[in-house]
Structure 1
């Protein structure tokens, strides 16, 4: 895939769309600064707007209601934010809505997935600019009213081909609503009114999309992948992401509407395969060890050799899985983004179904309806994940659009639709039902703020859904529409959030607690005490809660939780289950991130605990590129096998998987340094230019190398004394190059800081340990621990 071309187009397209949509809004008398009213010459059927040009803007028929809806949406948002902010939010949403639809149609037309099998944005005729949609409008499976036929004829006669293209493009989008309703919503709303589309403009969206990005990038038959929509999404958000991180430098925190842009990071394809194969694939192979599927999963890691007791326990577990039905397997990505993990899980599930004798056609339907589940806080990501999963199903079943599909994917929404009146109408006095609905309403009251880290309490979801099905046709039309379009999806979302899963696989967002908005900060501090320091750690804890017994949790996260003291309690939780394997990636695992900003690890955990269980740990931190790390993994380099119980022998239980048996034994049997020595930070002058010198910069006769106590230092009447300041990495001995002005026990330093001579604290710490033998090391080390003897 040509990522450079994709990135260039996506970044440009966002600017272009927002600029053009904003211009069209201005023609309707709607700008960032306010709203214009129709001029006095307007009538009920025709509205005129004076926008400062020689010609008024004229709206007729449904265009009037569309503009009204547009104005109402901005005004609704402006009740909680500034009008200009509300205006920009709507411009952004309309832009990404059309961007998603354009990318989706381009993918479908290239692969022949459109119901008509014809081209909407391009032509089957090489070199032809005019889309086949425009050339042959009546060859499509469209139903035209007589009025529309006259309109088409008039546009053709007047050679208004862009207007004709726009009319037919909207017609195509409305038709696609029938097969992809969650992406192509009916276009009778204001987004249609704001559509800025031209195929004749060489610098327009259509021509740039068709000509700047080779269609082989979309064509599955020629190596293209549905994952391209995810890359479009990431690059589309790149400037928003830069803005968010620029704001962080100004102490502007990451609030709800900024989370998607700040945290979207496309997971490397090979890491996705590693997680899915070692979670979902392992789940299946446990019960079907003789399956030939193992040979096709390149990133699967075989179980480490175990003790006899562990082997017996694993054998018993596998026996219980031997009758597993693939239709019963449930996989969820609670941070699904554009659906990358779900798409590969689809492929692995297809392998499993086919090994059981299912056809590709029937398996594709089962996978969509029964196996895959997904959640995301971002509506646009949800749309692309939904599209990606359905397109993957289409690749296996050409009649998938005729099937009765019920994808279990959700853009997380709040429960504010559950008003008191509506709840009373639904429950009709049934106390138990009302309590269950009230529980959902409470749990999801701020769902768009906290997303899938919310733990939804189990209730009788079946009873609620039965009640909704029972009354939906009996309700007044207004309530019936609300129940069908809003309440039913909300209850389904709540059930997905409350359920347990065989596999939870995700790449969660990374947001440090210092960068969280105040509401999110308070929520995780209250509900996720063991993991509150970063959102990725919160998701580690939450995902562990979503896995059923014997199920699998697979994630890629920052590696901080493996080592830092602040995550010690989280490690204790994680090590109470079997850590099956880990790929320790370190820096540069994501090719889009430069330098050592993000250090990551990917791991697979089974929700059981077997004492003395041994995991496999792949150390890839030395790899300097994404491809280099993958090559190391496939070559089986730097693999360690250790029992996770060993980690508990080291204080704080860091995941020091590379430690030798001798080191673990030393910690287990030996005495810790902290029991026999004091660990302290020593003197910090805070003005090294004034108080420190290299030993060769001063008169050697004024240096005392032999003092072993403060009294001897005073008696020496010398000014300069040896000083340990860390320096570069060095083991055992050395880095003794500096001397410090410690004349009369540092009277100049004390005077400089305005502290009495008997003071013992920062910056003149640990006076009682001065002039004693010691083991020293640098405060910060980027590689290995280098301790040095200081006489």
Structure 2
């Protein structure tokens, strides 16, 4: 994959879309420092800034103006820019892989510039188009408006399959849809020409594109050297993990678990970075069926860890004799779980998994399964709100711990997966199941609370579960970058690891795993040495077992914009084995990512793996 072209693509498309979004907002009388009022209103039109608009834009514009007043002009503009960026990237990926019924940004006919969706507009029955409207636009030569209409209909069609990526478009994001897409200098050139068709066929490209999309914002925030507000945390902590590191972590956790339970499995031959234990093990987590296995990434980003786990699970199911067509659905239903505070990244993680499923099963879109990706949201209740709600649905449904849990999501964007639900010993999913059976639509107030309670319980369910494998490249943020609320939370809840988010995630991931479960992570190396992490080290050495560690040191992320953090990758079993001899690989002397990757591979081969 040409990383330079991926970087050029992300920057060019982002900047072009941002300018188009600003232009569209200005077209409707919305500027950085001023919003024009509606001058006159008629039955079928409104006048804004001396220009006449259809009355149908009035409500969309009112919502947009309200959002800008609440959040600020640039935040809303950037949000809408990303919505269209996400959708265009998703459509382009599906187009390149042949997953779309029609090409949207290009044509199958060589030398033809007009997108296929435009030339076949009268034959696209799956979009349920207004045929008369299409004919009118064609006869009037309104190709731009027709193209816009077709893309809107396509996004609504894709909503059925991927609601996490293609929300039903009836909102102000439609209002700010970019113009002039058919012009020679439009966004289509960027979508079609910068990244090669072959590179678009790799699911990994989704994560690289997002990494590059947020790169400028990340640099800007880090140079400021200030504590980060909750809405800034995703940008400064997202770090896409190179595939070889992902392989090492997933193969020595998920792959190891399967090999211990199926010692004759041929999976060993597929795993490049799997380290065979020196001695035959007897004390390990027993798995009787692949459908039992729960794999979680509690800071999943754009889903790279889960995507590779999907591939490995496919091999496991195939080996067990499952039919190829049923495997993707079973994996998405039963095996993979992702938790994320960044909605944009969470959408991409879900999308990447759906694309993996579609690649394996051509009929997957006919009855799609939604991936288990939980984007954590802030949820807040008024003082009397919960009391009235519980009285209505039945106080007996809520234990004291469950009531406390509902109040823990006020600052979810700040604390994320580090939140430990108070409802220990209570299964939130059971309460959630019972609440879903209740119909409270007759009371608007209760219904609004009902939705919030269900969402809080869904989040609590993800954060309360115990997983067989927990794998992560968690956020890195030292005490200086933490805002005051996050510092207090860290001190109160993670006294042994409070100095950095990554260390808190080591502790949290151990909580999330079942007894004898496996935790695979790449983190900064400082927890291995600094006195501030002495208690964390003692906890691991006294209660758990390090199975393998690749001490990477600096420059393991050369392919990602020159990241220079010194890191270590490791797998821990949530079980104390004082006599266990782990596999430790020192890679700190490698001068760049390629050298470290090669040295890790050589060390794996020398450990006794024969390929």
TM-score (norm 1): 0.73
Partner of 1:622: 589
- Residue 217 (1) aligns with residue 199 (2): yes
Query: Residue 208 of structure 2: which of 231, 234, 239 is its match?
Result: 231
Query: 2: CA distance between counterparts of 1:360 and 1:423?
Result: 50
Query: Residue 443 of structure 1: which of 389, 408, 415 is its match?
Result: 408
Structure-2 change in CA distance of 1:520 and 1:616 (3 Å): same
Structure-2 change in CA distance of 1:483 and 1:327 (3 Å): farther
- Residue 580 (1) aligns with residue 547 (2): yes
C-alpha contact 2:557 2:564 (8 A) present in aligned 1: no
Query: Residue 76 of structure 1: which of 49, 70, 74 is its match?
Result: 70
C-alpha contact 1:616 1:639 (8 A) present in aligned 2: no
- Residue 168 (1) aligns with residue 153 (2): no
- Residue 538 (1) aligns with residue 504 (2): yes
C-alpha contact 1:561 1:571 (8 A) present in aligned 2: yes
Partner of 2:131: 149
Partner of 2:233: 259
Q: Deviations over 1:191-242 (max 9, x none)?
A: 00001143322232222111121111112xxxxx111011110001111011
Partner of 1:7: 7
Query: Residue 104 of structure 2: which of 78, 97, 120 is its match?
Result: 120
After superposition, where does 1:469-548 map in structure 2 within 5 Å?
469-472=436-439, 475-476=441-442, 478=444, 482=448, 487-548=453-514
Q: Deviations over 1:55-84 (max 9, x none)?
A: 5151322x211111112222333xxxxxxx
C-alpha contact 1:556 1:602 (8 A) present in aligned 2: yes
Query: Residue 331 of structure 1: which of 295, 299, 305 is its match?
Result: 295
Structure-2 change in CA distance of 1:292 and 1:342 (3 Å): same
After superposition, where does 1:582-621 map in structure 2 within 5 Å?
582-592=549-559, 597-621=564-588
Partner of 1:64: 58
Q: Secondary structure of the equivalent of 1:187?
A: coil
Q: Secondary structure of the equivalent of 1:360?
A: coil
Partner of 1:671: none
C-alpha contact 1:543 1:553 (8 A) present in aligned 2: yes
Structure 2: which 5+ runs fail to align?
A: none
Partner of 2:417: 452
Partner of 1:89: 75
Moved more, 334-343 or 436-445: 436-445
Query: 2: CA distance between counterparts of 1:197 and 1:98?
Result: 12
How many residue pairs end up in the alignment?
A: 604
C-alpha contact 1:46 1:58 (8 A) present in aligned 2: yes
Q: Secondary structure of the equivalent of 2:241?
A: coil
C-alpha contact 2:164 2:347 (8 A) present in aligned 1: yes
Q: Secondary structure of the equivalent of 2:22?
A: helix
- Residue 274 (1) aligns with residue 273 (2): no
Partner of 2:95: 109
Q: Deviations over 1:158-204 (max 9, x none)?
A: 32212211110010000000111111000001000001143322232
Q: Secondary structure of the equivalent of 2:221?
A: helix
Q: Secondary structure of the equivalent of 1:635?
A: helix
TM-score (norm 2): 0.94
Moved more, 175-184 or 406-415: 406-415
Moved more, 9-18 or 237-246: 9-18
Query: 1: CA distance between counterparts of 2:248 and 2:242?
Result: 10
After superposition, where does 1:301-700 map in structure 2 within 5 Å?
301-305=275-279, 314-315=281-282, 317-318=283-284, 321=286, 324-403=288-367, 405-416=369-380, 420-421=384-385, 424-425=388-389, 428=392, 430-435=394-399, 437-458=402-423, 459-472=426-439, 475-476=441-442, 478=444, 482=448, 487-576=453-542, 577-592=544-559, 597-636=564-603
Partner of 1:765: none
C-alpha contact 2:298 2:472 (8 A) present in aligned 1: yes
Offset of residue 304 of structure 1: 3.0
Q: Secondary structure of the equivalent of 2:471?
A: strand
C-alpha contact 2:274 2:604 (8 A) present in aligned 1: no
C-alpha contact 2:45 2:55 (8 A) present in aligned 1: yes
Offset of residue 611 of structure 1: 1.7
Offset of residue 572 of structure 1: 0.8
Q: For the aligned residues, what is the CA RMSD?
A: 2.3
Offset of residue 380 of structure 1: 0.3
Q: Which has the higher contact order (CA 8 A, sep 6+)?
A: 2
Offset of residue 423 of structure 1: 6.4
Query: 2: CA distance between counterparts of 1:398 and 1:486?
Result: 36
Q: Secondary structure of the equivalent of 1:159?
A: coil
C-alpha contact 1:264 1:337 (8 A) present in aligned 2: yes
Query: 2: CA distance between counterparts of 1:168 and 1:44?
Result: 27
Structure 1: which 5+ runs fail to align?
A: 78-85, 220-224, 306-310, 642-791
Q: Secondary structure of the equivalent of 1:551?
A: strand
Q: Secondary structure of the equivalent of 1:178?
A: helix
Structure-2 change in CA distance of 1:584 and 1:135 (3 Å): same
Offset of residue 529 of structure 1: 1.1
Offset of residue 356 of structure 1: 1.1
C-alpha contact 2:548 2:583 (8 A) present in aligned 1: yes
C-alpha contact 1:617 1:639 (8 A) present in aligned 2: no
Q: Secondary structure of the equivalent of 1:601?
A: strand
Structure-2 change in CA distance of 1:113 and 1:637 (3 Å): closer
Query: 1: CA distance between counterparts of 2:451 and 2:127?
Result: 26
- Residue 137 (1) aligns with residue 121 (2): yes
Partner of 1:240: 217
Q: Deviations over 1:347-388 (max 9, x none)?
A: 111111111111122121111011100011101000100100
Offset of residue 478 of structure 1: 5.0
After superposition, where does 1:675-754 map in structure 2 within 5 Å?
none
Offset of residue 544 of structure 1: 1.2
